[in-house]
Amino acid sequence: MGCASSNTAHDKEELKKLNDLAEINSSETQSEQNPIVHQIPQNSITSSPSSTQIGVQSKLRATLLIQRWFRRWRAELEIRRRCTWTIFQTMEYASENEQLKLYNFFNEIISGLPDAFNAMQNEKNDQIESVEHFSKLSNPDYVMIDPDYNGPDLAFPIDEKQIKTLIDAFKDKKVLAAKHLLVLLAEARKHYMKIENVQYMVTSIAGKITVVGDLHGSLDDLLMIFFKNGLPSADNPYIINGDFVDRGPASVEVSILLFSLSLLYPNSVIINRGNHEDVIMNKRYGFTTELVKKYGVVANRISKGFEGVFRVLPLVTVVDNSVLICHGGLSDITDLQYINEIPRHKYASILRPPSKRNDEGEDEIDLIEWRQMLDLLWSDPKAALGCEPNTFRGGGTYFGPDISAAVLDKHKFKLLIRSHECKPDGYDVVHDGRVVTVFSASNYYEAGSNLGAYINLGPSHKPQFIQYSATENTSQLPLYSRVSKVESSALRDLRTKMFANQGRLQAAFENYDPEKTGLITMAEWTESMNSVLNLDLPWRTLRAKLVEQDEDGKIKYESCFKDGALEGNIANKQVTETIYRQRNILETIFRLLDTDNSGLLSREELRAGCELLAKHNGSISLSAEELDNLVDTMDINKDGEINFNEFLESFRMVDNKFASTNGAV
């Protein structure tokens, strides 16, 4: 990987802080049980205190009690807030890690197929990279506008009036016609193909540059930024630092506004690529689904159009030759000159390096080039020194303050501004002030979970952070109510994960309880939770929210499932757990098989997927008739196509049959 081959686990700073807070809380509780009078200066207490002195002492005692109660209350609240944050972030990164593993698995299958299939795939890649093919794909003559269409129109060249029309239309939940969108994507691709990987901007013209972090399909946050900071213009330049699609409900509208603004002000609106401007991430995290929902039968054409733009977005922006701005971060091999020479259009996805056949028919992969791209878009800073693989996310690196200092000093930069990580306050400053994170999607995990922020960067290069929340009702709630609301959501997600793994957890608990007492120690419970769920969480701190204890401190492990126990017989429980646990993986497989992004599997798509697996696994042998029978079985409503619910139901039926034939009751 080019980084130190360390097996160091993910940083434990947050867990240490939680433990410190818990100790503070414990010491405050103990001190309350001791007399308070000893804290009053002894020389102020006489042998015969007057009524005035007694009154002063009483007020002082009351004041000290209130202070201690308040400090303990804030410490408890902070413990809850940080635990909640750890749950959300750990589960998000675990999901990304699973996605990477799944994608690598499918690529291994594809790479093992005959040369003819690989040649076909390479031909497809070459086509999407060519201007001619993209122009044909985006030709508006292939798509007609519905006679009843009442959405906004788009004409080129774009002007400021059209931008405002788009904003008003999107506020009214109107969708831009597919024909207009295809033209916009073609124009955006032409624009970005002309510029280099590394872009340069200066603050001297406008006096400031606004840097926006992850938006993740949140139109409300983008409009909030425009309201507070003004629309982009030649006098109000913006840098959008990647990850403006996926997860949120309005990735299409956010993209349309950003692309339109970059065409209107090509030198004043720069869009860096993020790790979610990626065709594979889009299939897993919602953008592809959004396209299918909004554009139906032409969703595949539009999806390819977005892929064409994402491939050619720039990677880095440098401000005043002093501030480096990229989505993820750095590594010990980051080199800006090298990065500027990378043919970025090759990377439909950053998750796997593109290969090219040499004259001997062997695949050639430029791992150094790929590492430069991967580290730039996927890396995170850490407090410890050094550079190591980012095993928590599954891609990029963890880079320490020594690495950031070395890379910045090498290029004579003062500061790195990056995004990629949600922060409670919308921003974070680490590495002696030289690495700044900005995240612009407020309420990212749950309403009230975090503020959004953007940066105004002036000639002094000292970031000015502007915070906001796009959900007005939540921002007006008291702190305690906000923490409680977000905590409930995080615990609900965690219990869902526990529910999906109930059988495995039960087996792990019972392994420590051969006598079937229903009780295990705290250490045994935390070890079971860690080993089964594979989530690095402060289980001891979370214990009170998840499970009951007896009077001796033993864990009543059956109480883990009291609020979400599975009903029915053992076989049904196992089947439901399996499907529930693997739902995200099955959805990703469904999206990968759905090559035209229609949201439905045709007979041809499913047949191609089965043939793919049959070729990879020699033990699978299906005739054409057997494949047709399989498709007929999965097509429950017999409409000739398979939706995601039918796909899931097919797995449930197979798993149920398997459980029954193996003697489950």
Write out the catalytic residue numbers: 276
**C-alpha pair distances (Å), 469 with each of 224, 454, 472:** 8, 12, 7
CB neighbours of residue 261 within 10 Å = 23
Q: What angle do CA 596, 600, 603 make, to 5 degrees?
A: 85
Query: 409: alpha, beta or left, given left = phi > 0 and alpha = psi -120 to 50?
Result: alpha
Omega cis (within 30) before 114: no
Count, in order, helices (H) and strands (E) of the chain: 24, 21
For 144, the 3-state DSSP assignment is coil
Q: Checking DSSP bridges between strand 452-457 and strand 464-468, what pairing results, if any?
A: antiparallel
For 336, the 3-state DSSP assignment is helix
Residue with tokens 């990378």: 342
DSSP string for residues in 457-513: E-TT---EEEEE-S-HHHHTS-HHHHHHHHHHHHHHHHHHHHHHTHHHHHHHHHHT-
For 42, the 3-state DSSP assignment is helix
Residue with tokens 């409409």: 639
Q: How many CA atoms lie within 13 A of 344 on its CB side?
A: 32
d(CA 2, CA 653): 46
Question: Which 8-state DSSP code applies to residue 139?
Answer: -
Which tokens is 374 given?
């991967």
Which tokens is 40 given?
């009053």
| 71-82 as b/e: b if 16+ CB within 10 A | ebeebbbbbbbb
